[in-house]
Structure 1
Amino acid sequence: MAPPIRVPTYLNPMNAVKAIWRICYILVQYIIIAVYKAPPPKSPQDLRNPYGRVAVIGAGLTGISSAAHCISHNFEVVIFEESSRSGLGGIWSHTVVTSVKKSGGPESKWTINDGAEGAFDAVIVTVGTCGKPKWIDLDGMPKGMAKDSETSDADMAKQKDVFKKPIIHSSELDSDKVSEKTIRGKKVVVIGSGASGVEAVEAALHRGAGEVVMIARTDKWIIPRNIFFDTFLACQPFGREMPLSFLWESFLKNWHYYGVKDLTPAHAGLFEGTPVVNDKFLHHVKDGSCKYVRGDPIRLTSVGVRTNVRDRDTKPGAGGIEKTIDADVIVLATGFERPTISFLPDSLFPEDYQRPDLYLQNFTTEDWSVLMTNSSYSSGIGTVGHFHIGIYTRILLTFLLDENARPTPKDSKLWVDVVRFIKRGASGGPLGFFTYAELTIWLVTFHLLRPDRLRWLFFIMFGWGVRVKEQKGEGEGAGAVAMERVRKEKVY
């Protein structure tokens, strides 16, 4: 029998379509940059008379982006970050700011730590939602493992019925801490079914694991990485389950979950938590390269993980069948600790107005000059996760430039209370989940309910109007003079 005729890759029409799509996507990005990107100063010396000073706490992607927007609009920025320059960026950068205080008086300013960097007009907190890796403590785990992940060989030898093979956190799986030899050809058991767990499965398979098993306490919604489908999902106007949400869920079950419908969550709606965005995981389950086990890890043994295996319609902790899942390597996909914001004054977060129940979900209700971009976020669905960074930053800059646009604590709390009323009964709390469509509604009402803010609309939404400009006046007080000039001459 003659071998099948294979079409050369370069003649495959689908590859041509994909190539055209990529080119169009790149061109669109260039157009967006040309239209919306504010030109930065040509050199540090060009920012001689800034409109104000902003402290950015955290040098991850959100922090660097926020700082860039501030500088592009003539604000001086100081970034506070624990890591060295070589280690900046990413969700695993940890801030060590210890104190943020505000001086008294009508022109009070913020000082960071001992105030060595001077006074600031506003503070942007960008510590994110993922801090240090979270280690769970299971019986059968070597002593000290959950605390510092290090136990001597002598101590391990004294312990009975413990798992003495490699135990690693999912954040280490694709790092230099884990060698190729540790994973290749081995049976890897991943504990956890969230985004970290899905990524851990893919990383283990990519590094040549012989077999992978995921132990899932709860089923998570998994959606494809498709710009059209995700855009439609994000267009849901209210961040909560709605009467017609079952349509989206049914579509996913019959399309994305085709062949593995048993993996769809039985007790959680699509609009109740952040879904996992992934194209390949379900295919790994379908082709058998990953075995999906629904159950509760009970303890580790010398050979693997003792697990209470449950049926789909049961909840964590319900009765099941105890089984031991053999393992050569155990990966804890148990997430990350929420970064602390203890450096901020407690007075900024009165009872019932703590993360995520903040003004526009990112401003503290007690002081408009403290912005917490991506630091109060809990769950949501959006097509792209960066547009809001510039918008929120420019809202803060608007407050700095125009005192009439600023909300009072009463206004901020009222906004939170109204959202609570509209979304009462929402799973996870009214502000614990939102979509990009809902965020758009917040931004529209932010302007329409306060017509005096409409003159800032194009600046807030598109970054148009406020630029770095040559100004007269040098030395101390130049920043205040510049801000007063903006107010009087309406530089926006």
Structure 2
Amino acid sequence: MTTVKDVLRSSFEFVNNLWWIPLTWILDVIYVAVQKWIIFPFFQPPFPPRDGLSKPYGKIAVIGAGLTGVSSAAHCIAHNFEVQIFEKNSRARGLGGIWSNVNKTSGLQINSVMYRFHPAVFWKRSLPQAEEITAEIRKIWKNYNLESRTNFNTPVTSVKRAPAELFKDSSDPNRSRWIINGDESTYYDGVIVNIGTCGQPSYPPWAKEVLESRSSSPGDGKHTQQNKPIIIHSSDLDDLNEDVVKDMKRIVVVGSGASGVEGIEWVMEHISQSKSDSPPEVLMLARTDKWIIPRNVFIDTLISLQPFGREMPLSFLWEGFLKFFHYFGAEDLVPDDGKGLFQGTPIVNDTFIDHVRTGRCKYLRGNPVGFSDDGKGIVFQERERGQFDKKKWDEKVIEADLIVLATGFKKPDVDFFEDIESVFPEDYSRPDLYLQNFSTEDWSVLMTNASYMNAIGTVGHIHIGMYARILLTFLMDSGARPAKKDMKLWVDVIRWIKRGAEGGALAFFTYAELTIWLVTFHLFRPDRLKWFFFIMVGWGVHAK
């Protein structure tokens, strides 16, 4: 029986598609024009001279050649600071960071308007894929003369302070200088750590032993070891043959986060390409539920404008809106653990819900505990929605032809700091940092995008340049520098304001909250106001 609610939802979807698709085309044209005629002329930092900087203000060590590292280095050199980038991987796998190591079908889950990691970026599409993103990173890397300033295949194993007595007679003796990898021929005035939050692929304990025992490559597209399933991490899906799914009966994706959703999209695309008369059954095994928000730049922006960085009494309004309009026909996907929208990083996606809504993908809650004795499937403890009593969970074996482990990535370590307690003391380590990115013990250590845990916003946006310019401001103006006690006080104040927040005060934030931090950084210290336009938009200091 059709209800009034169903009619309203269907009407909303029809009207939304009716106006949103042509509006998107119009907005894309406007966006291209804005990039060419406003952003480039007024906000793009000038390219440095080809023959090098004549009188640099200092030298910065940048660890990591991913999106954030390249952007940070480009900002530094554009504002007359020499840089050296250290990247542990080769150029092919290191330049671009995570974007150089994901599947070709991976792409932005948010509108590229919210992914302007450098003013020189020129997006042709609202949702670019990995190839276009890495191309933009390479373009900036070349245009800002970073090729000769990048050391590939150079893992950073040691970062330590240079002896203070070496600089006692300098014009600025009361700050740190840094030595990288024991090379005392070069001292760095600051260190920007851009290792991100995604390191090596992470595997559940029950899968490691089986994966280590596999001798043949899963990418040959064949069932190995007596018709046992192919097991592969979601980041390696491109290693499989194009027609690998053609004759499969069931595909299982383990994990319900962003990697899991992208894994489902990869599977669905290859099923569509195979044109099979009997496509395989597709299952997602979810240990926990994630909120999913639409790929709509207006809605996403409004959600990220929540200034409190935590669940609030009126947060149920956004959650209700999403339940009614975004989850319609797939209400079972709404998280059942009681966690609100502002307590974890949501997934930005439209198609996954539609796959579940139409039955192309089945969503099962529960706990995968290991492989079956015969190795042909996963032992899975399935639960019903809202059922948390493990005694009532239904343990079963789910056989599959392909098992995709969308189990995320390990968080990179910062143990290359030799005296780590002097940089990140107890109670003031990631994410509890000054402005969530600076060491509270030493402002010359910047951890851009390397301390975040959960957020509603984006790591690839204009804040990368702002944080880099804050560091440069500290180096150029000793009067603007914060004292250790003031940086710790900032962290303590945020902890007090957000006391009781899920996971800790700085474990989750919104982009509006980040903006408030950067504005108050100036307002609470009027002596920094002269640097306001330099920090916020990059005006006033250029390469010589």
Alpha carbons 2:243, 2:270 under 8 Å: kept: no
CA 1:380–1:319 in structure 2 vs 1: closer, same or farther (change >3 Å)?
same
Work out which of the residue numbers 80, 85, 109 in structure 2 matches 1:79. 85
Alpha carbons 2:43, 2:537 under 8 Å: kept: yes
1:277 corresponds to 2:357: no
Work out which of the residue numbers 295, 300, 303 in structure 2 matches 1:225. 295
Q: How does 1:6-155 map to 2 (within 5 A)?
A: 17-30=23-36, 31-43=38-50, 45-87=51-93, 88-91=95-98, 96-105=155-164, 106=168, 107=173, 108-115=176-183, 118-138=186-206, 143=209, 145=211, 148=212, 150-151=214-215
Alignment correspondent of 1:181: 243
Once the two structures are TM-superposed, the CA of residue 372 in structure 1 deviates from its matched residue by 0.3
Distance (whole Å) between structure 2 residues aligned to residue 142 and residue 230 of structure 1: 37
Which has the larger displacement, 47-56 or 99-108? 99-108
Alignment correspondent of 1:322: 395
Distance (whole Å) between structure 1 residues aligned to residue 290 and residue 388 of structure 2: 13
Letter in 1 for 2:412: P
Number of matched pairs: 444
Alignment correspondent of 1:164: 228
Once the two structures are TM-superposed, the CA of residue 137 in structure 1 deviates from its matched residue by 2.4
Alignment correspondent of 1:210: 280
Alpha carbons 1:227, 1:383 under 8 Å: kept: no
For residues 140-181 of structure 1, what are the alpha-carbon distances to aligned partners after superposition, in whole Å with 9 as ceiling and x for unaligned? x58451xx474369xxxxxxx9983210001011x2x21123
Letter in 2 for 1:386: H
CA RMSD of aligned residues (A): 2.2
Work out which of the residue numbers 321, 327, 332 in structure 2 matches 1:251. 321
Once the two structures are TM-superposed, the CA of residue 326 in structure 1 deviates from its matched residue by 2.3
Alignment correspondent of 1:464: 539
Alpha carbons 1:296, 1:317 under 8 Å: kept: no
CA 1:442–1:325 in structure 2 vs 1: closer, same or farther (change >3 Å)?
same
The secondary structure found in structure 2 opposite 1:358 is: coil
The secondary structure found in structure 1 opposite 2:77 is: helix
For residues 433-472 of structure 1, what are the alpha-carbon distances to aligned partners after superposition, in whole Å with 9 as ceiling and x for unaligned? 0001101110111011111101000000010000123xxx
Alignment correspondent of 2:409: 336
Distance (whole Å) between structure 2 residues aligned to residue 414 and residue 185 of structure 1: 61
Distance (whole Å) between structure 1 residues aligned to residue 227 and residue 383 of structure 2: 23
Letter in 1 for 2:183: G
CA 1:334–1:15 in structure 2 vs 1: closer, same or farther (change >3 Å)?
closer
Normalising by structure 2, we get a TM-score of 0.78
Distance (whole Å) between structure 2 residues aligned to residue 413 and residue 330 of structure 1: 46
Alpha carbons 2:162, 2:187 under 8 Å: kept: no
1:195 corresponds to 2:258: yes
Distance (whole Å) between structure 2 residues aligned to residue 150 and residue 299 of structure 1: 16
The secondary structure found in structure 1 opposite 2:155 is: coil
Distance (whole Å) between structure 1 residues aligned to residue 469 and residue 251 of structure 2: 46
CA 1:410–1:16 in structure 2 vs 1: closer, same or farther (change >3 Å)?
closer
Distance (whole Å) between structure 2 residues aligned to residue 455 and residue 432 of structure 1: 32
Once the two structures are TM-superposed, the CA of residue 427 in structure 1 deviates from its matched residue by 0.2
For residues 274-302 of structure 1, what are the alpha-carbon distances to aligned partners after superposition, in whole Å with 9 as ceiling and x for unaligned? 00011110000011111100111122123
Percent identical among aligned pairs is 57
Alpha carbons 2:88, 2:154 under 8 Å: kept: yes
Alignment correspondent of 2:468: 393
Distance (whole Å) between structure 2 residues aligned to residue 126 and residue 240 of structure 1: 26
Distance (whole Å) between structure 1 residues aligned to residue 353 and residue 21 of structure 2: 24
Alignment correspondent of 1:6: none
For residues 3-29 of structure 1, what are the alpha-carbon distances to aligned partners after superposition, in whole Å with 9 as ceiling and x for unaligned? xxxxxxxxx997654432211111122
CA 1:278–1:14 in structure 2 vs 1: closer, same or farther (change >3 Å)?
closer
Alignment correspondent of 2:5: none
Letter in 2 for 1:151: S
For residues 326-352 of structure 1, what are the alpha-carbon distances to aligned partners after superposition, in whole Å with 9 as ceiling and x for unaligned? 211101111001011100231211110
The secondary structure found in structure 2 opposite 1:288 is: coil
CA 1:319–1:406 in structure 2 vs 1: closer, same or farther (change >3 Å)?
farther
CA 1:62–1:162 in structure 2 vs 1: closer, same or farther (change >3 Å)?
farther
Once the two structures are TM-superposed, the CA of residue 83 in structure 1 deviates from its matched residue by 1.6
Normalising by structure 1, we get a TM-score of 0.86
Alignment correspondent of 1:440: 515
Alpha carbons 1:185, 1:211 under 8 Å: kept: no
Distance (whole Å) between structure 2 residues aligned to residue 13 and residue 249 of structure 1: 24
Alpha carbons 1:234, 1:383 under 8 Å: kept: no
Alpha carbons 2:229, 2:377 under 8 Å: kept: no
Work out which of the residue numbers 343, 352, 363 in structure 1 matches 2:427. 352
The secondary structure found in structure 2 opposite 1:180 is: coil
Alpha carbons 2:254, 2:403 under 8 Å: kept: yes
Distance (whole Å) between structure 1 residues aligned to residue 58 and residue 335 of structure 2: 49
For residues 244-267 of structure 1, what are the alpha-carbon distances to aligned partners after superposition, in whole Å with 9 as ceiling and x for unaligned? 000000000000000111111122
Letter in 1 for 2:470: I
For residues 28-63 of structure 1, what are the alpha-carbon distances to aligned partners after superposition, in whole Å with 9 as ceiling and x for unaligned? 2222222111101131x2411101000000000000
CA 1:162–1:404 in structure 2 vs 1: closer, same or farther (change >3 Å)?
farther
Distance (whole Å) between structure 2 residues aligned to residue 203 and residue 28 of structure 1: 33
Letter in 2 for 1:189: V
The secondary structure found in structure 1 opposite 2:196 is: coil
Alpha carbons 1:40, 1:72 under 8 Å: kept: yes
Letter in 1 for 2:160: K
CA 1:79–1:14 in structure 2 vs 1: closer, same or farther (change >3 Å)?
closer
Alpha carbons 2:59, 2:188 under 8 Å: kept: yes
Alpha carbons 2:449, 2:459 under 8 Å: kept: no
Look at both structures and tell me which one has the larger radius of gyration over its CA atoms.
1
Which has the larger displacement, 230-239 or 32-41? 32-41
CA 1:207–1:142 in structure 2 vs 1: closer, same or farther (change >3 Å)?
same
Give ranges in structure 1 of 5+ residues lacking alignment: 1-11, 154-160, 470-492
